[in-house]
Each structure stands twice: as C-alpha cells, then as structure tokens.
Structure 1
C-alpha cells in the first residue's frame, strides 16, 4: 500500500512526470487504475495479518463447545424488515467478485452460545434440517472461511420453524452479528413461516435488508427478484419415492390433505358422487397419527404417503400456511400436482417452468377439476410425470439440495452472463439440445472451410466443381477423396490451376464411409462435404451456407433435404424424398458439418451401421443425420430455396438414385437405424435459411448474396 500511496500522491502533484512528459501518460494511467481497484477491493482483502484473525473452515463435527457471547439489547435505529427490497437496491453486488473468481463467496458464522446480561444462557437449538443446510453450504464450491472476501453471509441461527421462535430474541441475536449491517447480503432460511392467526408475514422481525429463502410465500408478501421461494421439505417424502415412472395408477385423482378448507371439501364430495372410481378422498384417521389416511365414506385405511403412488394426479390445497408438505410428497411419488392455491408463489419459480410438471386450477373453479384432467392426453401425462420426478430429484429431494439450489439462484443473479439456461434448468437429459463442440455463439470465420469431394471416376465433373468452388471466398482448401482403387487419380498437374491448395487421397476400398474419415489434411473446423456431380451450386449459395453454419456449428447445414414418416400400415419408418414443408434430414452430398462428426462417425458409430452402409453402398448420409440428431437432439438446417440437384453432364444410368430399389433401400435404412438407436432421433422442422433482402426489390449492390438459385 506504500507504493500505491506514492503513486496516488505523485498523480496529484503538480510537478509529477505525468504532467510534464506525455510519454509516461499510459504508465501512470495503468498505475492509477490498479490503485483504484485495490482501494475498491480493500475491504474484502484478507487482513488477518493485521487484526489477528485466523480463518478456519467451519468444523461441523465439533459444535459442542461454542464460544460464549453476551447478548446485547437490540441496537438503536435497527429497522424492521424492508418490504420494498429488490436485488437492485438491497443487495450490495460490489461485495462479490473481488476474490478473482466469478462465483459468489458464502460465509457461515460460527456457532456461538449466547447468554443475557444476567448470565442466563439463551437456548438456541439446531434442527437436523438446518444442520443439513449448513453442512451442504460448507461443503459446496461457494463456501469461504474468510468473511472479508464473502458477499453472502449465513447466520448459524436456526430460523426454519417460526412456531418455536421468539421474534424479538432472534432479532437481537441477528443484529449483533459482526457483519450484520442492517441485514445487507445476509440470507435466512425458513420452512414454517408466519404466526397466528393469519400466517401472512414470514419472519416479520427487525431484519432490515436481509434476504429470505422460505416456503409459503404468497404474491403479497413475496419480494420479487429478492426473496427466494422454497418448497416445504417433508421427511416422509422418501417413503413415497418410486423408481418405475411407468407404474400403473389405480386412481386418477387423490385428495389426501388433512383439515382442508370446508369449501374445498364440499366441492370434492360433490364431484365424487359422479367420479367414484376416479377420485379418492382421504382424511385423517386419528388426530395423532399422520401416516394413516381414511377414505371419507368407507373409512378404508391407507398408508401415507405410500398411497400417493396409486394416483396420477394429487391435489395440493393451502392450509393455515400456503405451502404444504403434500407438494414434495406427491412429487416424490411421481404424482402430478394439481395446485389449487390462488396467489401461491411456487418453489424456485424463478428458474422452474412449472407448466411442464403441474396443473393449476383457480380455487373458485375447483368444480371443473375432472373436466380439466380429462382433457389431458396420455402423451402429455407421461411427459409431465417424467418432468415431476426429474424436478423432485434435481431440486427438492433433500435439505442440502434445496440450499445449494438457493445459492445457485443468487449466483445467477450476480453473474448473469454465466447463468444457467432454461434448458439446463428444466429439460430432461434426453430433451437437452446438447452442443458437444463448445463453440461460442458464432463459430469463427477467419479459418474458413475445407471442401471434401468424394469422387470415383467423373473427371470432367470433378474439374468443373473445383473451378467453381475456388470462387467461394471462405474456401481454404480442397481435399479430393478418390474412391476408385482400380484406377489412379489424375496427376496433380492435370488438375485446374487454382488459388487454393488441393490434396488428393486415394482410398484402399470403394466405401461411402470414406467421405467421413477424419483425414489429417482437414485442418479447419468447418467441412463442406460435396459430391463431384453437384456443379449447379453458385459461389454465393455456398458462402451463404457457410455463414449459416457459423450460426449453427453443431448441426448439419446444407441444400438437399429429405424427411421421414411412420407408416401405420407396415408399422415401420419410411424415407420420403417428396417436397414437403417439414424436413428431418439434409443430405451430405452438399452440406457443411463440423469435423468432429467425422471422428464420431468413424470411431463411435455402431459398427453394424457402417458395415451396412459400405456393403450396400447407400445411406451414409442418413447414418450421419441419425448420429448428429442423436447427440444434439436438434434438426438440421436447410439453406436457400434450391431443391433440384441433378448432374447435367452425367448419363442417368450413372446416377446411384436411378436404381429402382434405391428408395426401398433408403426406407430400410431409416427403419433399421431407428431400431439400432432404440429411438427415432431425427427431428422434424419447418425452417429454411435465406439471405437478408433475398427477394426484396433492392439494388443488387445493396445485397450481399445476389446469385441465389430459385425453386
């Protein structure tokens, strides 16, 4: 700091070198900037050497000997909970980020034993649930043992159950924390919030600007973009868990909550008169036994929460508090929640799309329950049940899980550029559009692309194609894959004299899979796979296709498109080459791919598929489409309106597609590959990429791609 002070004093001096010699200006600007950053982060730098503090990780295995601290009276000027807090005005984001990592640092206060001014110890019990919260935080990537570098503070004071807390006493405990500062950047957890008779406010104490992560928020007491809504964790939920999500359910709807509002009970009993076989109504059997439920009429006894496994839908009502145990218990049982709570803030609503996993019915419209449920298709029910069990395991299965997801939400707020996406948060692994290439938003243009031409013996057509390809600005290299083992390719001196390097690779066997081998001659990320008879494409069309590929580097981007469909007569998948609005394949006779796919095709694609392709001399393009779609769960991208791809210089009997059995074989490939992949990975899409101003009546000099073919 001595050197920094000197630099600052020098900058402020009228006789400084900065004022007299411009050549030192950049040097002193850098010094000033660094000094400013140090001053800004000074409060967060580890000062243990100066103040004698020693920072050690919180040892949760040794909590029997806490430090004794005298409890002071509530500090003068301490404010009540700020009901108008938002992330932008009550959270000090400048406390975050000075550790050099784009990650929030969370400090947990050590446990202390408080006693009053009279020497009377203050009882502060720690529940198992709160212990699990603290344990998960201390073991997480967010934890820091140094309070000077923390931007979020967790008091070691159990505030989960407001029923057993003294609000005034707890406020006194919180307000004397050394870094409380009116609750700024402090986080409190609560599961059972509010006090009688209306339970409206959660932790309505002298908390100032403290953030609350709690269950049971409604739209009136919830501070949006500040508080975090949690589920009410149920220890019984694990007893309801199921492994088989396709288990047959005996009941369509079950109402298992006890002591629900009389209005709800009356409506349900009225519905049960007409839906006796679909609607199961349960209530408590005994005032003191929670794990037994009795049918309201027959008094048949059911084990709870195991009975939730018997129903497709589970009703969730409000009680004295908004949030209820039933939500977690139903989700654990893979029962789709039907939420009948007006104004309820759903748990983790900031990140979870609850429409994928729950049904919402207004309280006044409860009489429409069966009509709403009957309108849900079987396919939708399966999808929702898959989402229910996925969300439960990801977010609600344990107190530690709930705590870490809470910190993840705060992390996303502080560092939004690194925040998780909708797909990461809500989609099942089988639904995620996975990009294995780890490209930025747009692939780099500077490196250009390599054109890989598969040829056999069509010399004239090959030379014409090469002469047209070199007119494409982004082309960097041409690789000719010579697939005729009986005849040598022409000497390089016989090839057209062009401005791009040409490599000729003679293969050992005539196999269609040779076009996808990851040759060392391919040095660019982007590869244009093109047949030697595709001579009708213009340089503008190819350049535009490369630009589109840069936007979608993990997909197949190209010109000729095809689709597939299910034949209900033969119960097989079929290949379709007719012009349709939907496509699911782009043929690799003229398409851009990342070279990574060549590696996967050669070394990871099932050997049976490659053998089928090479033995039958067909379907290598279909196999590649299956491979890419299976990894990414994304459809291909068709570019430009051109649909006809013919070889005008070739006789019809030379064309592979002229074979009568070609289409039959292609359909067999689609069906056989679907069986090998054990699913149909191909995705249908109605999309085509065209250049901007393609058909607009603008002067050609204003358009970048003028020479784009038509239908």
Structure 2
C-alpha cells in the first residue's frame, strides 16, 4: 500500500513539472518577449483601425498635451490624425529585394514588379504557354493529394484552353498542382506541408514566373490577409479579398470570391439591362431578409449592400452583379477584382464601413465601475481651461450650451480630455455630487438626462470623435465611510462629524 502511494505521488509530481515546463515556462517567455517589444517602442502599439487601414501621410504623435492653434479648435490634431503615425513593418535586405516579415515567419517580396520578379525571356506574343504541375504521387496509403472542387475547376479551365502545354521548357507561366485556395488551418480543404512541397518542384526557382491562386488566407480570430502559411517568394498572387496595402501594383491580381457551387462554365443568365435609367425596380436598397426570396429580392432592387465577410471579400459581390443590382461596397481598402482592367467607379458605389453601427453616446449617473465625466460643481481644474473654453471653442458648441442653458460642465470635460488626452480622477468618497442650492433638483427630471445626452452627441459630432476617456480609478486618502478597518484611516473621528 505504501509503495502504491509513492508511485502515485511520483506520477503527480512528474505531471506537475511537465505542466510547469510546457505551460507556465513558455507563457512566461512569451510575456517577457512581448514586454521587450512594447518597451522598445510603446507608442507604436496597434489600434483597431490600424489593423485594416494605413494612411499615406504621417504626422507627429499627439498622445501628449499639445498647444491649441491660433485660428480654431478644429484645426488641432483630431482623433484620426493622432494615430496616423503607423509604425513601419520590420524589414531587412536580402538578395537585393526588400522583404517584409509576415506573421508566419516567411517573407513576401513586397517590392516585386513585372520588371524585377518576372522572366520575360520565356514569353513572346506568339507562344504564350502555361504549364500545370502534375499531381503529386500517391502517399504511403495510396491516397491522392487533396484538391478542392474550386481548384480542380481552375486547373481544368487552364488545361482546356489553347495556352496549356505539357512541356515545361516552353512554358512562360507555371501553375501549382498544390491546392493553395484555402489557407485557413481550421478548414477541411487546408493542405499541409506546402513549404516543403514547393521546394520539391523542379522549376520553382523561388516562385519566379509562377502564379499562386488563393481565396482564403489566415484563420480565426483575425483572419490575417498575409497568413498563407508559406513564402510565395517572387510568385504572382491571384488572390481574393486583397487589400490596397498588400497588393503589388502591376504584379498581383485581385480575383473575386466564389463559392464551391460556382459553375466551371455557363451558369444562369444575368439580369443586367442596358439603358434602364431611371430605374423602375420595386426596391431602392436591399441587403437580405426572411420574408422574401433572396435572389428575387436582389433582382428587384436598384442598390444592394455588399459588406465584408470574415475577410474583405464576399460572395455577395458576384451575386449582386449577376442580379443586375448596383453594389454598395462596405469594405474599406478592398481591391476589387481585376481593378486594373475594369473601371469599377462606373459600376459600384463605395461607402465607409467605419460609419456603420455608430450608436448614440449615452449619458447616465448610475454607479458603475468606471466614469468619464466629473461635474464641474465638484471638480478642481486649472483656470487655463476656462480661457480655452471662452476663447478657443467653436461658436457652434457655445451656442448649443446657451440654447439649452445646460451642458456647460459636459463641454468642459470634453475640452479638457481633448487637450490632455487623459481621463478625470475622482477624489474622496464614493457619494455622488448633489446640487443643494436649488429647491427642486434637476436630476430627478427625466428630460434633464435626455437633454444632456443630446448635448453629448452634438458635441461629439462637432469634435469629430469622442474626446472623453474612461477611468475606474478613485483616490481617497481620507477613506471617508469606506468599509475598511478604522486603524487604516488617518482621520478616524471625521465620520462622527454631523452624524
């Protein structure tokens, strides 16, 4: 019995040590690495909009307090301009070509163009041939390599064309026999060990004169656009959901996103009608619905919303075009299919997806674990902000306060947060501020909160963003009426005053 207990104890100790090594030790190493990266450049932490957009110009960071301009408040750096200083992605020089490191550890030849990464000596106007690599040999179990339906359709379309050749020495362009359409590691069509398979190709040559087709890249939760899982090298990317930041102009090709049921050739007849202006369709704008048939709804609508999916592209784009509906695109930075050959400005409408789901700002005095406003009746602030309030604020803001005879404390909080980019600090006890001078408190009137909420949304619209910053910090050196030991309080008799 004693031996059995010792064996059980040894097994438990080994399991615990293994958990510490595989779990805690590596987690600690990742946290240390992250801290090192942040400490090197803490100002370049990515924000939400930096994950999708990059700006051409850059300005000085305004995370610190800045002097206001001499003409108007609204020429000061706004919320958008504060984040335009996007840190460049790490790059290094190798082989005479600038390479940008991807999340998978590979590198994409970001500066590739047809003049630098394509060999025209194998191509001419009379003999333009495309070679498709044969399927890989059967594995040890006798199973063929996995190829999805969509990729088989692409291969079949090339092999049935007049450009196809079986002689690689005559080929100008090479197409992989490896299915690279779906690079989502959670997908059933995901093909593994692609890097090693590419290196075994006899004519790979670091991807020169090769074309790689891809519909889905990255995986949950961020669906990274460059998450192919392998280095495409100097190969041309024919890719769906391609952004302006990733496209190599004149080299890569943006293709539409199509589903597995998309026919190889033919298909249903489209419903585009020429010279049908003014449009006489039943619905002006459509998205989707349960009361009507989806295809019928698209065909009877003049405009159709095309939002992004998990990635920039969407199946809806081709469906809308096939239905003869004008697409209203809600996918910022998306390079539309074959944009270099098709003038989409004459066939589509762009809208900024950042304007979607912009709910109104709420104003409440409920006791929560955070706050963003401290009323001026219970606040201490520098008189400098009174000067800014009087001399620098827009006339529209001051007029809103005068018409409502209210909301001046909200506007002061927005002004201070806009200048300092810091939240307020609550000091002393938890009890809320009460106006004891007036007989009937306006805080008991529901219309009072509605009016202040309207002011808050008006101010945010004029500022162009919400300057207020949230905080959950409370500093109370007195510990007045706090549920802590009386020995920790410096002024132990203060709670007896007025009781």
Normalised TM-score (structure 2): 0.45
Normalised TM-score (structure 1): 0.32
Larger Rg: 1
Structure number having the greater strand percentage: 1
If asked which structure has higher relative contact order (CA below 8 Å, sep 6+), I would say 2
